[in-house]
Chains A and B, each alone.
Chain A
Amino acid sequence: MPPGEGTAIDRREFVKLAGAAAGGAAAVSLPHRRLAALAAPSLRRPTLDPAIKELALLALDAAKSAGASYADVRIGRVQTESIQTRDDHIAGLSSEETFGFGVRALAGGAWGFAASRLVERDEVVRVARRAAAQAKANARYVRVPVRLAPVDAYPDVEWHTPVEIDPWSISLEEKVDLLLKANAEAMRVAGVRVVTSSLFFHREEKTVATTDGTLVFQTLVRSSPQVSVTAVGRGEFQTRQSAEVPPAARGYEHVLGARLVENAGRWAEEAVQKLTAKPVEPGLYTLVLDPSHLWLTIHESIGHPTELDRALGYEANYAGTSFLAPPDGVLGRLRYGPELMNVQADRTQAGALASTGWDDEGVPADRWLLIKDGVFADYQTTREQVAWIAHLTGVQRSHGCSYAQSWRHIPFQRMPNVSLLPGAEDITLEDIIADTDAGIYIVGDGSYSIDQQRYNFQFGGQVFYEIEDGRIAGMLKDVAYQARTVDFWNSMDRIGGPRSYFVGGSMFDGKGQPGQINAVSHGCVPARFRNVTVLNTGRGER
């Protein structure tokens, strides 16, 4: 919703944490090093304003005095910058900023929440009381009271997304110039009709305080570069999006690393090539899925069904429930996929969108396996969900998955980074293709749809290639595959090794009512699947 400047000129902190530097971020390009060196002198780290801390504690006191047995408060400032271009010109530039606070209170075993943009003493007290009053109104209809799992107090802690180059430290001219250069490279290709590109930056300063004694100050930064090329032929058009360029919890170094200008010509050529590519013959196929595609299949068919609130019915009216239910029938029992399949949930992974130091109810970030050796092992949880399955998992702590989109949203269970771990052997994408007699290789995420219990899905892609005798034989179009989640994952027979690991992700994962977005990354390796149903989605066949 928001960005900022006037104040942001002073706030151009160049967040660089020991963790980021030592964590060994990926290979750094030369211009990026130059910029980092130039920017370094202004390097400054944001700090928690003592006035904010005082207001946070005031909110907690007010909620308690009004009868809350527990309360937490989030005071947040969100800034965003969005730059959009089309062909040879700018199409939109906006900078948004929003500031406010929200109080969540528990009373009589029920939750209440209230939020306001006026971060002032009187308003803080009024809103905290209102949250407690909401809770009491709801407590009249409580059937099972909320119980929170214990968590240690973290009285004065902070965490910051590891950023090497603050996106707000780069001039607008430089950002626009980069996009227009990428567009020009794409427009050079005959047959290209429209090129759009964009940069989106998000930065949040968030203070979370709880009546359990925790006070956390964090800054979260996200960067998302994108290009889309549409080619038009006679009575036909095709689009190629820069799906291999994911959003990331990194700074401008991520934009530079995406090499938009260097890649734009290839994306354009592929858009044009799609116009005359061979339409796929529907049938059963072996699929080799590039990690730039597979991350989204993981998100939909593993990330969402392992949300515990869904599995138990809390999201029934919108996102749906889950085939992973009831918990005692599936935990440690359900074979999700082959033994080589290990899926990890992780809120600590550097550069991943859902990484954080503490979640929105003061629980430190966690890392755990959702699927171990192919068997379903655990769910995603918040504090109130722990007791629902602790007797089955033996896990007594929250996995730290509470998140609210902004100060005016109610925190609830959101997805951590969920990743398919690489296999032990050093297998590359090329090895998998060379080992495949016939099949289809899919690059990039495209259309996606899955039912409300996460059984039946359909995915498209950006570009599709025929594999013949271990080689890429030519381009296909109009490909989509449909499968049933557990059948699909059990048909996986080869996966890449550590060198082939890639992290994709989404800035806009929707869940909850009112709908909230979450940003989440998914690491994975290339993988092969057998006997998958492929449809032709072209105009001839529907």
Chain B
Amino acid sequence: MSATSAAAQRRAGLSREEAKALAERVLALSTADEARVNIRGSISGSTRFALNQITTSGDSADTTVTVTSAFGTREASASTNRLDDEGLREVVARSERLARLTPENPERMPELAPQEYVSVPAYFESTASLDAERRARVAEQAMAPASERGLQAAGFLDLSAGSTAVANRNGLFAFHEDSDVAYTLTVRTAAGDGSGWAGGAHNDFSKIDTAAVAERALEKAIRSRGAQPVPPGAWTVILEPAAVANLLSLMFLGFSARILGISARAADEGRSFFSRPDGGNRIREKLFDERVTLVSDPTDPELLDRPFDDDGLPLRHVVWVEGGVLRNLAYGRFWAQKQGKEPTGFPSSLRMMGGDASLDEMIASTERGIFVTRFWYIRAVDPRTLLYTGLTRDGTFLIENGRVTRAVQNLRFNESPALMLSRLEALGPAVRVSAEEAGGRGEAIIVPPLKIRNFTFTSVSEAV
């Protein structure tokens, strides 16, 4: 769609002016010492299919206003999706009533002064206009060939488009428009003896090659038939980018990263992999192979992330790991102030720099190894080593003497993504992937395929 016609079309969510006006209406009602309002207005739509037919599909629209009020260091937040005057009065009053009742929070940080933000063009009409009919055609692109070849396609196409705003009474105002879409597909054989997965995610739907996704999943389903078990133990593995992202997300993105991963506070308090045994954290230590470099940058054209967090703190280019050396941990505003550091915020997107080995070259250089498409049901086992368990799924193959020779049964791993990065053999080109187990849009992540030695599998699963 051309820029002109996209501009002419009404965008999903609130415009900058609408968001600003709504924020001002809310803040004008505030009687607290400090107040902040977070607004998210969006449409979402999805289509699901299984057994070669569409099973559910739906669209919804919502706008949520969250008000955070503070009296001194007493703070509480309240949200609503009722935007008339009465609804806004109610939500402001509720947040203030709760804030007055809550005890002092010595760790509360004052609201930020106005900030400068980079602009990130993350909204694409290609995604926002993906209605039920167009989604059904994407599904049919997988269902029809699957049906012809006696296979069963199950997939999910999920999108959201809208805008996010943060404002406070200091005059801070942050606004960002975005769209996101993910397409994931699992193709199974009718006899249930083969299963293949492929997927893609982006802000811009036109960047996802849905025909290629279908082709990859179909091919893997067929090739994965007749899997035989191999003994568990320490294996050389070649992890496709989705599998790498499944593991690295745990350390750097989302809830688990805040609790177990790159939280500076957890490290400084002696309860993290990044803690030094004698106190403090491991910043400046070489923890990984020197080819490991990990960065977050909202303006990365393949990530296009929101350039601020819920406080309105600008999110900038941060280097977490460079040449295998830990350069940064994530500092929230309180802990940064306490430690005399700049707050980084917690990242919501990540890029791992790639290398120049192709997948074919990685396979050709492998005498005996396991090729992994993706992982599943990954759960923390031991935070001291960032040990996780989980299983391979939907395309696991044996490599012998430089060739993929046959399908193998799935394997359970007990492995640490952090320790794994010291056992790196080769890296391929980095690509954006869909890494969320649920196949949703998740956080944006770009990773290379990796070849790793001594990856620990502990048991076999006959699950297909």
Contacts and interface: CB of A to CB of B under 8 A. Distances in A.
Interface of A: 1-8, 86, 89-91, 93-100, 102, 110-117, 130-131, 133-134, 137-138, 140-144, 171-173, 176, 180, 193-194, 230, 232, 234-237, 239, 312-318, 320-321, 323, 325, 408, 410, 412, 447-456, 458, 460, 478, 480, 482, 510, 513-515, 533, 535, 537-539, 542
Given A194-B269, A513-B440, A323 B57 contact: no
Contact of A537 (B76, B387, B419): B387
- Label chain B's interface by main secondary structure: strand
B51 interface: yes
B270 A137 contact: no
A449 B414 CA distance: 11
A237 to B, nearest CB: 4
Interface string B61-79: 1111010000000011111
Nearest to A135: B57
A90 B102 contact: yes
A451 B51 contact: no
B154 interface: yes
B119 to A, nearest CB: 29
B451 interface: no
Given A5-B94, A96-B79, A234-B277, A448 B379 contact: yes
Most buried by A among B269, B389, B462: B389
A130 B59 contact: yes
16 contacts: A7-B90, A90-B105, A94-B77, A96-B79, A97-B81, A98-B81, A113-B59, A142-B54, A143-B53, A239-B383, A316-B186, A317-B155, A451-B412, A452-B376, A452-B391, A482-B458
- The range of chain B's interface size is 35 or more
B391 A112 contact: no
B280 interface: no
B463 A323 contact: yes
A96 B58 contact: no
A466 to B, nearest CB: 20
Given A117-B62, A318-B156, A410-B56, A452 B439 contact: no
Contacts of B258: none
Contacts of A133: 132
A314 B97 CA distance: 46
Contacts of B440: 513-515
Given A482-B412, A537-B387, A513 B57 contact: no
A536 to B, nearest CB: 10
Interface string B169-195: 000000000000000111010001001
B48 interface: yes
Contacts of B377: 449-452
B384 A180 contact: no
B140 to A, nearest CB: 6
A455 B462 contact: yes
A537 B98 contact: no
B52 interface: yes
A142 B269 CA distance: 57
Q: A-side binding surface: helix, strand, loop or mixed?
A: mixed
Given A316-B50, A539-B384, A5 B271 contact: no
Contacts of B82: 97, 99, 117
Nearest to B55: A314
A5 B78 contact: yes
A236 B273 CA distance: 10
B59 A137 contact: no
A449 B94 contact: no
Contacts of A1: 64, 79
B242 to A, nearest CB: 13
Interface string B368-412: 000000001111111111010111010000000000000000101
Given A408-B60, A449-B379, A176 B46 contact: no
A537 B152 CA distance: 38
Interface string B451-464: 00000101111111
Max chain A Cβ within 10 angstroms of own Cβ: one of B54, B155, B459? B54
Interface in B5-62: 44, 46-62
Nearest to A316: B154
Contact of A317 (B93, B185, B192): B185
A539 B385 contact: yes
Contacts of B80: 2, 4, 97-98
Contact of A110 (B54, B90, B184): B54
Contact of B81 (A117, A144, A180): A117
B104 interface: yes
B438 A515 contact: yes
Contacts of A314: 50-51, 55, 154
A134 B141 CA distance: 18
B387 A542 contact: yes
Contacts of B79: 1-3, 94-98
Contacts of A453: 461-464
B316 to A, nearest CB: 25
Given A115-B58, A134-B57, A482 B459 contact: yes
A317 B186 contact: yes
Nearest to B64: A98
A193 B385 contact: no
B50 A315 contact: yes
Interface of B: 44, 46-64, 66, 75-82, 89-91, 93-95, 97-99, 101-107, 132-133, 136, 139-140, 143, 147, 152, 154-156, 158, 184-186, 188, 192, 195, 197, 269-271, 275, 277-278, 376-385, 387, 389-391, 393, 410, 412, 414-416, 419, 437-440, 456, 458-464
Contacts of B81: 2, 97-100, 117
Given A111-B57, A514-B46, A325 B192 contact: yes
A194 B422 CA distance: 30
A349 B264 CA distance: 45
Contacts of B154: 313-317
Contacts of B155: 317
A89 B106 contact: yes
Contacts of B156: 317-318, 513
A176 B410 CA distance: 47
A451 B17 CA distance: 49
Contacts of A102: 58, 60
Contact of A193 (B271, B378, B382): B271
A116 to B, nearest CB: 5
Contact of A111 (B56, B61, B186): B56
Given A138-B132, A456-B391, A456-B459, A176 B78 contact: no
A318 B271 contact: no
B380 A447 contact: yes
Nearest to B437: A318
A99 B275 CA distance: 44
B271 A230 contact: yes
Given A93-B76, A458-B412, A140 B136 contact: yes
B98 A95 contact: yes
B61 A116 contact: yes
Given A449-B378, A539-B382, A89 B105 contact: yes
Given A141-B143, A482-B412, A93 B77 contact: yes
Contacts of B101: 171-173
Contacts of A455: 461-463
B378 to A, nearest CB: 7
Nearest to A477: B382
A89 B51 contact: no
Complex A-B, nearest 4 residue pairs according to Cβ-Cβ distance, in ascending order: A113-B58, A456-B461, A235-B277, A5-B94
Given A130-B59, A313-B154, A142 B389 contact: no
A498 to B, nearest CB: 33
A131 B57 CA distance: 9
A452 to B, nearest CB: 6
Nearest to A235: B277
Contacts of B89: 6
Contacts of A447: 379-381, 389
